[in-house]
Amino acid sequence: MAEVLSQSQIDALLNSMLSGGDSGKAEEKQPEKKYRKYDFTTPRKFTKDRIKMLNGIFENYTRVISSRLNAQLRTTCEITVESIEEQKFYEFNNALMEGDVLAMVDVTIHPRDEGGEDLLVDDPVMVYLSTSTALGMMDRMMGSENESEREIPMGYAYTDLELQLYEHLLRDIISLMGSSWENYVPVTFEYNHTQVNPTLVTLLNLDETVVLVDMKLDFGGSEGRMSVVLPGNMLVSVFGEVSRETMGRKATSEDNSEEIFDKLRDSTLEIIAELGDTQLSLSDIYHLNVGDVVDLGRSKDSPVFLEIGGYQWFTGRMGTHKKNMAIKIDEVCYSAEQRSE
């Protein structure tokens, strides 16, 4: 007996025939969306707002050092921030190779308050310049005009002269780093020394949280990489100072607002209520007596204009309040044309 297909099997067969077998190919073309694994055992130490703040700081920093390197290397140098990521120090340290060098930087935070003491951060900031990038810059500084990149062997060791040029180059770049932090808190970055072969030295605790700023350099037809390692303890001190100054500015602004309102409450403001206008001769005014009526050409229900500083700001109606004459405001004249009518 022949096998009988169910209705669902028939529908699936018809759909497959109508699609011509392209549905499977279409699914293959769609790239698989990748997600970064989140380690719940080590939660993030800094919020997205703080990372965004650092991104703005280093975007400004790249513009500053680009103009400086243009003059030193005598060529166009473009620097862009590729990524700012929070990670453990061992992730950066494991990526270093034998022969790499790091510039160690001292950080000092200067409080804006008078009498406040400067804070010298214990953990140093580290600046990494890839070997090929550093050597290419040195060639340009020494007068070379070769645009092609030279091949650097694995584990290349800097000579003493190259280390001196490396220090001169990094010292100048690092001295400009503090200017990009001025909008938040005064911070001084000072070159300390060059650490040769940092893989053999414990610079930070391997489990220390750091923020790695990766920048891409493009100069004279060559591409390179520059990284700045910001220790977590240093950033906690900086962000704490930023928060304290922000709260201080808010308190100061609130105090000023109260002072301003106190002065406004004690000030006098002349408000003129205009019922209408008419023309009288001098003799008519001379013969006016108590009880006389002056015709203004307006009905008793017509609105009254309130003038402040020579402009009509409100319209209202005459009345009484606690047996005193008063005016009830009906409308605010927002536009300048309406006030000048």
- pLDDT surpassing 80 at residue 334: no
Give the best-scoring range by mean pLDDT among 18-32, 37-51, 163-177, 291-305.
163-177
Confidence band for 248, pLDDT divided at 50, 70 and 90:
low
Angle at 42 between CA 39 and CA 43, to 5 degrees: 85
pLDDT the model gives residue 6: 74
- pLDDT surpassing 60 at residue 254: no
Least confident piece of the model among 111-120, 286-295, 317-326 = 111-120
**Cβ contact 231:125 at 8 Å:** yes
Per-residue pLDDT averaged across 185-191, rounded?
Answer: 89
Share of the chain above pLDDT 90, in %: 7
Tokens of 12: 């699936």
Per-residue pLDDT tens for 93-114?
Answer: 888 887 888 999 998 888 776 6
Mean per-residue pLDDT of the chain? 79
Q: Which domains does the chain show, CATH number per domain?
A: 48-147+155-254 (3.40.1550.10), 268-340 (2.30.330.10)
Per-residue pLDDT averaged across 145-172, rounded?
Answer: 80
pLDDT the model gives residue 1: 43
- pLDDT surpassing 60 at residue 183: yes
Tokens of 62: 């790249």
- pLDDT surpassing 60 at residue 251: no
- pLDDT surpassing 70 at residue 149: no
pLDDT the model gives residue 214: 92
pLDDT the model gives residue 43: 66
pLDDT the model gives residue 336: 47
Residue 189, C-beta contacts closer than 8 angstroms, at least 6 positions apart: 105, 106, 107, 125, 174, 175, 177, 178
pLDDT the model gives residue 213: 92
Is 0.85 topped by the overall pTM? no
- pLDDT surpassing 80 at residue 173: yes
Q: What is the 3-state secondary structure (H, E, C) of the chain?
A: CCCCCCHHHHHHHHHHHHHCCHHHHHHHHCCCCCCCCCCCCCCCCCCHHHHHHHHHHHHHHHHHHHHHHHHHHCCCEEEEEEEEEEEEHHHHHHCCCCCCEEEEEEEEECCCCCCCCCEECCCCEEEEECHHHHHHHHHHHCCCCCCCCCCCCCCCCCCHHHHHHHHHHHHHHHHCHHHHHCCCCCEEEEEEEEEECHHHCCCCCCCCEEEEEEEEEEECCEEEEEEEEEEHHHHHHHHHHHHHHHHHHHHHHHHHHHHHHHHHHHCCCCEEEECCCCCCCHHHHHCCCCCCCCCCCCCCCCCEEEEECCEEEEEEEEEEECCEEEEEEEEECCCHHHHHC
- pLDDT surpassing 50 at residue 35: yes
Per-residue pLDDT averaged across 184-207, rounded?
Answer: 84
- pLDDT surpassing 70 at residue 298: yes
DSSP letter at 72 equals H
Per-residue pLDDT tens for 72-92?
Answer: 877 788 889 998 999 888 888
